Structure 1
Amino acid sequence: MAPIKIDQGTIVIFDIGKNVSESGEKGEKSFFEKSRECVSRIIERKIISQGKNYLGLVLLGSKKSTGDFKYIEVFSELQAPTWQIIRQLPEKPCKAKGNWFDGLIVAINHFKNEVSGVKFINKQIILMTNFDAPSYAEDEEVTKVLAGINEEGIEIDVFGPDIYGDNKNNDMDIAKQFVEGTNGTTASFDYIMRYLLFHKKKATNPIPWNVDLSLGPNIKIPVSAYIRLKDEPVVKNWLKGIKDPVTNTASTTQGIMKNKVFVNSEDQTVIDSSTDIIKGYCYGQEVIPFSECDKSMLYESGAKSLTVYGFTSSSNINWQCLNGDGLSYVFGRKGDKKAQYTIRCLAECLHELNLTGIVRRVYNNGNAPRMYALMPVLDAKYICLSLVGICYKEDLKNIAFPPTHFKKLSCTTEQVDAFKSLIQAMDLTKAYDEAEFDDTEAYPIAEMVSPSAQYVLDCISYRAMNPSKPLPPPREDIMMLFKIPPLIRKRAQDSMEKLKSLFDLRRIEVKTRKKTTEMDVDDAQHSVVPTKSENMEDVPKIQLSVIDNNILKVERVGTVDPIKDFESLKEWKPFKELCFEMSEAIEQLIYGNIDGNFEKVMKVLMHFRQACVASDPTCYNNWLREIKTELNERKKMSILNIFHDKNLNFIIKAENDKSTVTNSDEDSQLYENDTMPNMTEVSISTQINSMFDDI
């Protein structure tokens, strides 16, 4: 039988002897406490990553012994890491002292003799001791053990002490020989804990999606698509466990037996015969039967393919048109130099001509086809093509935004310069001091971890160790990802104060609706209303505060009572600004209407028109031209007819001398609005409309 391949086998030599029990200065943690936290974090990291890793644990200074090696215990053999190993770690150090050199020999022998049927690609031994307990190892023994380690291909790492510092300990010099002789590493606990601060995804080799890129009927290029980015859940496969109510423990070997039966809804009888069952699909609350003969009418997408339909200007592909769950890179097939050269040439041509390809992609037989944008990628390391999903027409949502060309919304040069200085002060590439940090950039691309994913994995780890306790809030390390770097905040403070002085800022108070609780019937029966005959002097008096009229002052035209708001704001607001707010309120009433009753809208619109006739008709005419164009585009012909029936047209010059619209101008503008959709439809070629009929 072929051996099982394991990516990495790790044995941790954990010192729990008397030499690591002393605590540091000023209430610092002892070496034992730091190493125990590090061991727990290493095991937790290997469990969460779900990689093919084996882990073993050897204790130094234990009361038990392994063969001739005293005070050395093989606490856990090489196996898949489990939460039980963390739960069973020693809570306190022992009084004995273990020989770290003997512990190293025990770990090597365990790799060599105790594990069968397993092939390790990488072997690693992590030594955690302060070397205060002497090993009394001689040079010949060190040389012999080092030769055996190199023969087995084991890497020796030392975590905790600084073996390269100024010290006179001979054991640290021996440890240097093992680290340097096996290309190992050494680091302090602070550095290791920072490295283990966040969970990381399991490293996997990318699997290519091999297909032929078809250009026309005769050209087919063998390509391979690799996933560059993809939206994936934090934990893909959940293993369900049944909790025993007696022992309060979960078991993955037991489960709930489920049985599927079909019941007739009319007489509630169980149907056993498969011939009496017809499959169907729920469409809302209605069940649509789907028989075997209906399968012949299903749409067949065809075999796996990647077909180029054509090319378009890159300016036509906006970010609003892109969708999908990720990004893929397309390269020429591995080993095919002609295909690699062709893809490189195609990417360079698309980049030079500023074009984007539109392709149809069928992932596998029976999968639904999807449309993708094929865009060039020119990097310093490689040149390839990228695949990003694009939306169909039904997926696009057109949102109408209010115009911004009003004088009220224009900015001065001083305001623009203030925003530029704020942007420069908030430059994330210079978020940290160069003297203290190697990298001055904050939130670097492709290096930031997801706070939500980290919190989910922390909750899984906490629940495994504390099954009956409530989940804790996110730790400070995760919350730091949401905070602004201190240097950015300090630099941007002056710019923010300048912006506050240049703009008229108003605080927006969010009004919350008060919830009224229903009174219980029993409580209502016990409540007694005092009568006139009772002595009212004993009832306590309550001082009610007088409502300030300034609090109820209207600041903007709303949709509840626009006419009242408009009249109350006339005294202290400019007329043009008031017209803009009134037009916004009318648009909200039109587009937010559900029941189709536009009586309120027409009353408000009539009042708005009369006010503009008496003052300035320009605001009303300009807005009416824009709203009619928008209603034409949205095909709201019923509302346009109401406008015409109620005689809510442009304010002509006969009504107000300031108007520039005459009777003939009004008719031409109305005719232009009425015929705009038909003229636009006629100008489109029929070939373009039927381009996607064959998809």
Structure 2
Amino acid sequence: MVIFSVIEFVVILEQEKLVLLLDVGPSMHGVLSEVEKLCSMLVEKKLIFSKYDELGVVVFGTEESKNDLTTEVGGYQNISVLQDIKVVDGDLVDTLQKLPRGRVDGDWQNAIQAACFSAYCCIVGSLTSVVLDAIVVGMDMLIKKYKDLHKGKKRLCLITNAIHPIKDSFEGSKEDQVMTIAEQMAAQGMKIESIVVRGRLSRDANKGVMDENDHLLSIFSKKTRTRIVYVDTPTSLLGALKTRRVTPVTVFRGHLELSPQMKIKVWVYKKTQEEKFPTLKKYSEKAAASNKLATHQVKVSYEYKSVDGSSTSVIPPEQRIKGYRYGPQVVPISTAEWDAVKFKPEKGIKVLGFTDASKIKRHCYMKDVYLFIAEPGNTRATLAVSAIARAMKEMNAVAILRCVWRQGQQNVVVGVLTPNISQNYKIPDSFYFNVLPFAEDVREYQFPSFNSFPASWQPNDQQQKAADELVQMLDLAPSGKEALLPEFTPNPVLE
């Protein structure tokens, strides 16, 4: 007999600290409606998936100046804090759906400085009840006490077209000033993600100014190890800001064995992964309404008792054994017996051989794509991977691998290793790995030709033309440039 018991529990989640830096100057008015949709969607998703995250909103390019730096030290004009950093709620959605339309060209550099100051002080100030009156003393005290607090969880997102020149620095060059700010951000564990809206907005802009701004933004990208995204359509803008962050995790760390005498240390990551719909969970209303940390989740536990009723005590796990039905009987099989007959391949990756790339058909690729890189910091492994990858590329060859990702894995994966030659001298060469099917996984279905059907079933010229035009309309790259790039096209259900 199985008895269910329901227990409610509370989980405290790690929270992200995010500040949105939005350019609302005249040159951005044409896309502000899309920016409003994008930011509102971000908050709505956080309310569902990460309701304890904190978010603030800073706009620049406004006539008025409303920020702490203007009050305390002067300067930093045309920057307004629409919303101080707080836990996401419905009011934030309303705020982001009604962004002001500024009349001054935005200086994104000043906005970043104000946001960096606001982000750090608001985060630690909310935890220590320290007001922002004594800026210098307060920051010094908070840095000493909370120097490691929320590192890696503080993020800024800049949305601008970056087509206007920034102001010259009073001390040093613009690059020196940006470098100083970037180093301070890195020291505080902050990251900045830049979304640059160009396209039709930048047709009449000064190319020299845009190149300079792109160079300065790249300094932030390099120092804080984040990305710069350039978008030119409203659809790509909606897909540029990710509502969820997925941290890559290695599926294998070990040797790529070419022979018993030649092994290369590699790390393997998943390059792609199938996105699945969120699962429904049990919900409990037993938590007090005043408990803001309650997740209302339900945990189910099982108790096993004797079916003949001879004992009312719970049978402990060590006295239980799994039984499997075989006809009218139940055959007990212990864990030890299962372990004795299980297939236990040894963890590792071995090269079975090489073949011409033309012999491996693209439609045979199965499941997810994996990325093979040399062990970070291992120069010899990096050189070995690069040498093999470039030799395979030159010979148009691929490798067939036998992979067992972890110890105790019950299945063996066989796949094809394809060289990936880097075009960036700072990024080493690598490999892509695709799983191949076994013979029993391949289904060769034979279909009769349409020519074997009666004439009355055959399409006429008009129908054939309509079908051809329909297929042509499905082409996402009629001019050679893909219209809906996967990395910039949001999934309407999952994003």
Coarse TM-score class (shorter-chain normalised): 0.5 to 0.7
Residue 390 (str. 1) matches residue 436 (str. 2)? yes
- Which amino acid letter does the alignment assign opposite residue 90 of structure 2? Q
Aligned to 1:110: 118
Decide whether the 8 Å contact of 2:56 with 2:84 is kept in 1: yes
1:222–1:427 CA distance, 2 compared to 1 (3 A): farther
Kindly report which structure 2 residues correspond to 1:146-157, keeping only aligned pairs within 5 A, or say none: 151-153=180-182
Give distance in 1, aligned partners of 2:371 and 2:304: 47
Q: Distance in 1 between matches of 2:245 and 2:276?
A: 12
Determine the C-alpha separation between the residues in 1 that align with 2:357 and 2:213.
Answer: 55
Establish whether residue 307 from structure 1 lines up as the match of residue 350 from structure 2. Answer: yes
User: 2:493 is matched with which residue: 449, 453, 456?
Assistant: 456
1:626-684 per-position Cα deviation (integer Å, ceiling 9, x unaligned): xxxxxxxxxxxxxxxxxxxxxxxxxxxxxxxxxxxxxxxxxxxxxxxxxxxxxxxxxxx
Name the CA distance, whole Å, in 2 between partners of 1:241 and 1:327.
36
> Equivalent of 2:481, from 441, 444, 453?
441
| 1:372/1:387 contact within 8 Å kept | no
Q: CA RMSD in A?
A: 6.6
**1:196 aligned to 2:256?**
no
Show structure 1 runs of 5+ residues with no match: 21-28, 129-138, 167-175, 410-414, 434-439, 459-695
**1:297 matches 2:337:** no
Task: Give the whole-Å Cα distance in 2 for the aligned partners of 1:449 and 1:342.
Answer: 27
Counterpart CA distance in 2 for 1:229 and 1:105 is 35
Task: Point out the structure with the larger strand share.
Answer: 2
The alpha-carbon deviation at position 31 of structure 1 amounts to 10
Cα 1:11/1:192, change in 2 over 3 Å: farther
- Structure number with greater CO (CA < 8 Å, separation at least 6) is 2
Q: 1:13 to 1:268 in 2, by over 3 A?
A: farther
Does the 8 A contact of 1:38 with 1:193 survive in 2? no
Show the counterpart of 1:254.
Answer: 296
Q: Note the C-alpha offset of 1:306.
A: 1.7
Match of 2:410?
A: 368
- For the pair shown, the structure with the greater C-alpha radius of gyration is 1
Q: Which amino acid aligns with 2:486?
A: M
Q: For residues 435 and 306 of structure 2, what CA distance do their matches in structure 1 show?
A: 44
What displacement does 1:367 show?
Answer: 0.3
- When residues 360 and 115 of structure 1 are mapped into structure 2, their CA distance, relative to the original with a 3 A threshold, is same
What is the identity, as a one-letter code, of the residue corresponding to 2:19? T
| SS of aligned partner of 2:407 | coil
Q: CA 1:342–1:266 in 2, change beyond 3 Å: closer, same or farther?
A: same
Aligned to 1:689: none
1:306 & 1:457 partners in 2: Cα distance? 34
Return the alpha-carbon distance in structure 1 between the equivalents of residues 195 and 396 of structure 2.
Answer: 54
* Unmatched segments (≥5 aa) in structure 2: 1-13, 73-77, 125-148, 162-166, 186-191, 221-230, 456-460
Structure 2 counterpart of 1:84: 90
Aligned counterpart for 1:277 among listed residues 298, 320, 326: 320
Q: Which residue of 2 aligns with 1:55?
A: 55
SS of 2:19's equivalent?
A: strand
TM-score (normalised: structure 1): 0.41
Alignment-derived partner of residue 263 in structure 2: 221
Letter in 1 for 2:55: L
- Aligned position for 1:674: none
Query: Does the 8 Å CA contact 1:282/1:288 hold for their aligned counterparts?
Result: yes
Structure 2 residue matching 1:456: 3-state secondary structure: coil
Query: How far apart, in 2, do the equivalents of 1:289 and 1:456 lie?
Result: 45
Q: 1:13 to 1:143 in 2, by over 3 A?
A: farther
Is contact 1:244–1:251 with CA below 8 Å preserved after alignment? no
Note if contact 2:386-2:430 (Cα within 8 Å) is conserved in structure 1.
yes
Alignment of 1:279-678 (within 5 A): 279-280=322-323, 288-309=331-352, 322=364, 324-334=366-376, 335-337=378-380, 340-341=383-384, 344-345=387-388, 348=391, 352=395, 357=400, 359-377=401-419, 379=421, 381=423, 386-397=432-443, 399=445, 426=472, 431-432=477-478, 440-442=480-482, 447-448=485-486, 454-457=491-494
TM-aligned CA deviation for residue 76 of structure 1? 3.9
| Percent pairwise identity | 13
